[in-house]
Structure 1
């Protein structure tokens, strides 16, 4: 079990991009950049005994800042903040004060604004085998959010093939916060469509969205709909061929309880990815908008070529009082734990 720090020589915002490599006793290998806290590689051993990378991304750090990539930007493997998903009209009010965020296509704020935590340089605070703690300080007014927010994220790789993400945050002024991670997974040895992956989510309800994918506040039972993943099924079994899935599922749990969010299996690799979280919601996205040229080993990535399980609080909760609060105040401590666990399935 070890942690290795590698200098890339690439500078962003005057800081050098570092690669942090985590390796466990099973030979599982995770590579993380301090740019965007990006999970660049997640290499595991499949049932054939082959090494297999289960996350989408690039071979070279330069490709993550390429203009063509950012034009149709899928947030490969990055942390999302200060506020995940969409905020209606890019606007919210705290203690009588209204804040106007930047607005993306459709007029809503997406994934923290024009340049969110996914494109920031994080400081490497510590490396303790086999883990790394990154920190980013978001200044008051960044992307028009109030308060200076200090965020720490620790990645730890265990000998149980768990990649643990522990988030902590504090603020000096009441602010809105909803963090998540945006890794795209594909468990098939050769990649391609994830339609045949088998997926299960212990979620009896999903959140209604308007025409621009913004959560409205209404819960809809999954029973009798194509959104029902209470029992395992192939991802492509019931989906809309044009849309796939891009929904927030409310997990069946007590608020704050650490439980399973999803299980996904693939037959050819024999791999199973289980996601566990303290968060109340898992947003399931099957990459409808994915269109990236020249990914790892020169592969092009297309629609439905990966899936994301984005653990978080209810999207747009800052504007929906009935949802669990996403307001963080001075003296309070934001905490979240999400685990990606890889196993072989029978």
Structure 2
């Protein structure tokens, strides 16, 4: 396996935009930008021996910063921080001190605010293993969050066809943190609607949401609902065809252990994507709001043409004391690991 740096010729915030290419001996290839830690390509060999790109993305880097893309911004393949998903009313308190964030999704704060980690230039650090480590230093007050936060995200592509994402962070002031990665997957060789993909998620409960998809604090059993993925089933089997899924699931696991979060397969390609994580929840999103023109190969992306498994802590947990804590304090280290593993269901 090897890692290769490629210059894009672009500069943002006085920093050079670079692409990192990781390859392994299985023919798998991943392309990552240091802008937003965007995974723009994830090429694997399917059951027919054909190379297939399984993530939604754009052909050229400059397309990720174009106005028309950002107007219907789907966060294609980007890291999310400081705080994934929605924070109610864009506000929270730590130790009795209130903080106010941008209300960039109705009255709520979504995915870190107006310009989160997905639109920042990360530094590329030297690494010993065949991997790449990106670092971003988020200053105190950025997007309203307290504390100087140092974040490192390491991507490692193994010869077992695992793309490992390992996150670490430290702060000098107590702050709220909840990181994830927003990759959109489609395992079909032809792309298109992902409703026929077979999906399994070991989660007996999901989190109730209000009308703006903000978690309320209530857990609801999946049994007898459209949200039951305890047994594998087609994604579209029970869904509301106009809404799809945009729901947070509480994984059946011991807190902090690295276990299966989901498994998704597609018959024509013979590919299976298994997601493992140390995080307590996975947010399953089937792309209702995807609307991207002139994406890879000149294609347009439409609703329900990609799915996300966003591993993280409970959304809005900073405002819900009963949920696992998302406050990071000086002297502590935030750490989470998520693995995207590719396998074959047929050969």
TM-score (norm 2): 0.99
String of CA shifts for 1:142-178, please: whole Å, max 9, x gaps.
Answer: 0010000000000000000000000000000000000
CA contact 1:23–1:130 (8 Å) conserved in 2 = no
CA contact 1:3–1:129 (8 Å) conserved in 2 = no
State yes or no: 1:238 paired with 2:261.
no
CA contact 1:3–1:128 (8 Å) conserved in 2 = no
The match for 1:225 is 225
Equivalents in 2 of 1:342, 1:111: separation in Å? 27
The match for 1:139 is 139
String of CA shifts for 1:73-104, please: whole Å, max 9, x gaps.
Answer: 00000000000000000000001100000002
Equivalents in 2 of 1:127, 1:3: separation in Å? 10
The match for 2:66 is 66
CA contact 1:103–1:109 (8 Å) conserved in 2 = yes
Equivalents in 2 of 1:117, 1:266: separation in Å? 31
Equivalents in 1 of 2:79, 2:73: separation in Å? 14
User: Which contiguous aligned blocks of 4+ residues in structure 1 show a shift greater than 3 angstroms?
Assistant: none
State yes or no: 1:103 paired with 2:103.
yes
The match for 1:168 is 168
The match for 1:335 is 335
Equivalents in 2 of 1:217, 1:87: separation in Å? 12
Report matched runs for 1:27-176 at 5 Å. 27-176=27-176
Structure 2: any 5+ residue segments left out of the alignment? none
Equivalents in 1 of 2:219, 2:157: separation in Å? 35
The match for 1:323 is 323
Q: CA RMSD in A?
A: 0.6
String of CA shifts for 1:175-220, please: whole Å, max 9, x gaps.
Answer: 0000000000000001000000000000000000000000000000
String of CA shifts for 1:96-142, please: whole Å, max 9, x gaps.
Answer: 10000000232000000000000000000124452000000000000
- CA gap 1:6/1:128 in 2 versus in 1, 3 angstroms: farther
Equivalents in 1 of 2:295, 2:16: separation in Å? 23
Report matched runs for 1:276-287 at 5 Å. 276-287=276-287
TM-score (norm 1): 0.99
Equivalents in 2 of 1:286, 1:30: separation in Å? 22
3-state SS of paired residue (2:143): helix
Deviates more, 1:218-227 or 1:4-13: 4-13
Report the count of equivalent residues. Answer: 346
- Once the two structures are TM-superposed, the CA of residue 254 in structure 1 deviates from its matched residue by 1.0
- CA gap 1:330/1:129 in 2 versus in 1, 3 angstroms: closer
